[in-house]
Structure 1
Amino acid sequence: MSERDKYPAQSGRRRFVKGVVGGAALAGVGATGAATINSATQASGAGGGSTQAYAIENTAGPAPRGMPQIPVEIDDEGYLKGVWPEVKTEEQGGVSVQIAETEDFKGSGETYTTEWFQFCGVESYAGIEPDYDSENYFRSGSNPGYEWQSEAYSEGDRLHVDDFSDYQEWGNGVGDPGLGKPATGRWRSEDAEDTIPIQVIKSEQVMEMAEEDPWLEASTEDGFIAWLNKCTHFCCVPQYKSEGSAKFNAENDVYCQCHQSVYDPYSIVQTLFVARPRPSD
């Protein structure tokens, strides 16, 4: 195991880039073990198996891959929503199952599916069921990650674009100000036992990235980008511009305090992994 696999480098900075991680290389990392665990512990259900997703890139620490992106849209009143794929019924092994999948998402040429979110036990959450009744808004949680959220929102309030208007100047004393304004929250979790944690950033860099990339043009809007905020290592909840991250040169990144995994929200990559099937009813 290399030093990079154990902990983030103690010095040096990265440039913001976009890239594609080779599927063959990633498929060989832990795929056999994951498949064995899945077959031993999961009831047969919809989805699962080899899955390619777009994710914010894991750049350091023990996490095996990035955290999956959630496409964003803004409604007519300025509230932020996560896009849910098209729900349809398919025959799988002679059984009719519901899946949520959109091919050629908004003309990007890419398939967006809820199999992206089938890890860390999230596949068993009610909100990941294809037909779960949800309006898909991003909502502030009970313990927001940023002081500005506590001042602007009560628990359950929908995130609104107007509250990100100072994104070009915002800072919380961690890293460089003006890189983007973040918020934490939940998605498809109202009236559900389990909460799906998300993080959102509005940034000029996201706008620039979307100008050059069909997927990002389709999956971001007005500089907003979002992802399912569960570390792919041991499922902790990381944070952008987190206290304590400077020690690992991650003050301008998304940092997981549990085991020091680091993610770059301005580098969106394709990642191949073995998704767990949703438990059967």
Structure 2
Amino acid sequence: MSNDDKYPTESGRRRFVKGVVGGAALAGVGTTGAVTVNSATTSSGAGGGSTQAMAIENTAGPAPRGMPQIPIEIDSEGYLKGVWPEVQEITEGGVTFQVAETENFNGSDVTYSSEWFQYCGVESYQGIQPDYESDNYFVSGANPAYTWQQDAYSEGDRLHVDDFSDYKSWGNGIGDSGVGKPASGTWRSQDSEDTIPIQVVRSERIQQAAQDDPWLKASTSQGFIAWLNKCTHFCCVPGYKQAADAAKFNAENDVYCQCHQSVYDPFTITETLFVARPRPEE
């Protein structure tokens, strides 16, 4: 079986077909069934436990699973925001606690939860607490890896659609041009000691795939896709088209983690089941 077909229909993975940028054949392919439980995190507890999440696919390296996707929306002025789930109180085992969770997110039949992000110590971050007050905008960090972003933004500036207008042709000398235009940034981190790193890519592949895939239609906008940018192996911060040595691992058009060579495909979304860490008691 080839790497491009590593998940057969019966695997229960949600994925979509890879294709040439601009190819009209790109479409979403959804399947149902069980997914493999990953036990690399701690046992369940209040606000944690077995969690099913949508993630960009891990295709190589030691990472146990993909990085969780962040549903995205664009406000009336063109600024990019990460959607936060609805905050509610639930009781498990006699313990009542808050959780941010939205069932059937935008009609996708997917339950979107803040527990998607409870790994790598992020579960202790102030911004990941369900009731943390934030405007949820994606903002540029202090030292973005991309020259275009360094020229366009200062630290704390909100990412804007207009600055991605050349996404169909953009390139930086790593891999192929025209695959997608990226930006790095932070989310729900203002007035917090902890920084939640995110990555955004705008691509024709996402725009086309969202036409036929209910989840992508619900969670992406105008070709933009975003994810929590913490490698699920040892919690490093990977990068899309950032590392020149990514080509050694056939990852020049993918998200590559230089720490231990894990590779992720931002254009393939998988359904993953793992044990989310419980949030610390406040």
Classify 1:213/1:60 alpha carbon distance in 2 versus 1 (closer, same or farther; 3 Å).
same
- Give ranges in structure 2 of 5+ residues lacking alignment: 4-16, 20-25
| Partner Cα separation in structure 1 for residue 175 and residue 32 of structure 2 | 31
- 2:238 maps to 238
1:146 aligns with 2:146: yes
- 1:262 maps to 263
| Partner Cα separation in structure 2 for residue 117 and residue 140 of structure 1 | 20
What aligned pairs does 1:55-134 form with structure 2 within 5 A after superposition? Answer: 55-134=55-134
What's the RMSD between the two structures over aligned residues? 1.9
For the 8 Å contact 1:126–1:194, the answer to whether it is kept is: yes
Shift in Å, 1:93: 2.5
CA deviations 1:22-50 (Å, max 9, x no partner) are 875621x4x2x634xx47xxxx5x32111
1:206 aligns with 2:206: yes
Q: Which amino acid aligns with 1:117?
A: F
1:34 equivalent among 19, 41, 64: 41
Shift in Å, 1:90: 1.7
Q: Which amino acid aligns with 2:270?
A: V
CA deviations 1:46-95 (Å, max 9, x no partner) are 32111110000000000000000000000010000000000111222223
TM-score of the two chains, using structure 1 as the length reference = 0.88
- 1:10 maps to none
Q: Which amino acid aligns with 1:278?
A: R
Give the SS at the match of 2:217: helix
1:48 aligns with 2:48: yes
| Partner Cα separation in structure 2 for residue 251 and residue 21 of structure 1 | 29
Q: Which amino acid aligns with 2:230?
A: K
Q: Which amino acid aligns with 1:34?
A: T
For the 8 Å contact 1:20–1:269, the answer to whether it is kept is: no
Q: Which amino acid aligns with 2:57?
A: E
| Partner Cα separation in structure 1 for residue 35 and residue 63 of structure 2 | 15
- 1:182 maps to 182
1:173 aligns with 2:173: yes
Q: Which amino acid aligns with 2:219?
A: S
Q: Which moved more, 1:50-59 or 1:241-250?
A: 241-250
Shift in Å, 1:99: 0.8
| Partner Cα separation in structure 2 for residue 21 and residue 47 of structure 1 | 28
Give the SS at the match of 2:47: coil
| Partner Cα separation in structure 1 for residue 253 and residue 31 of structure 2 | 22
| Partner Cα separation in structure 2 for residue 208 and residue 76 of structure 1 | 22
Q: Which amino acid aligns with 2:209?
A: M
Classify 1:143/1:258 alpha carbon distance in 2 versus 1 (closer, same or farther; 3 Å).
same
TM-score of the two chains, using structure 2 as the length reference = 0.87
Number of residues paired by the alignment?
259
Give the SS at the match of 1:211: coil
For the 8 Å contact 2:18–2:267, the answer to whether it is kept is: no
Q: Which amino acid aligns with 1:256?
A: C
Identity of aligned residues (%): 69
For the 8 Å contact 1:22–1:271, the answer to whether it is kept is: no
Shift in Å, 1:136: 0.1
Shift in Å, 1:113: 0.2
Shift in Å, 1:163: 0.2
For the 8 Å contact 1:21–1:270, the answer to whether it is kept is: no
Give the SS at the match of 1:140: coil
| Partner Cα separation in structure 2 for residue 57 and residue 225 of structure 1 | 13
For the 8 Å contact 2:47–2:98, the answer to whether it is kept is: no
- Give ranges in structure 1 of 5+ residues lacking alignment: 5-13
Shift in Å, 1:21: 8.9
Q: Which amino acid aligns with 1:146?
A: Y
Q: Which amino acid aligns with 1:115?
A: E
| Partner Cα separation in structure 1 for residue 258 and residue 41 of structure 2 | 24
| Partner Cα separation in structure 2 for residue 173 and residue 216 of structure 1 | 29
**Structure having the larger proportion of residues in helix:** 1
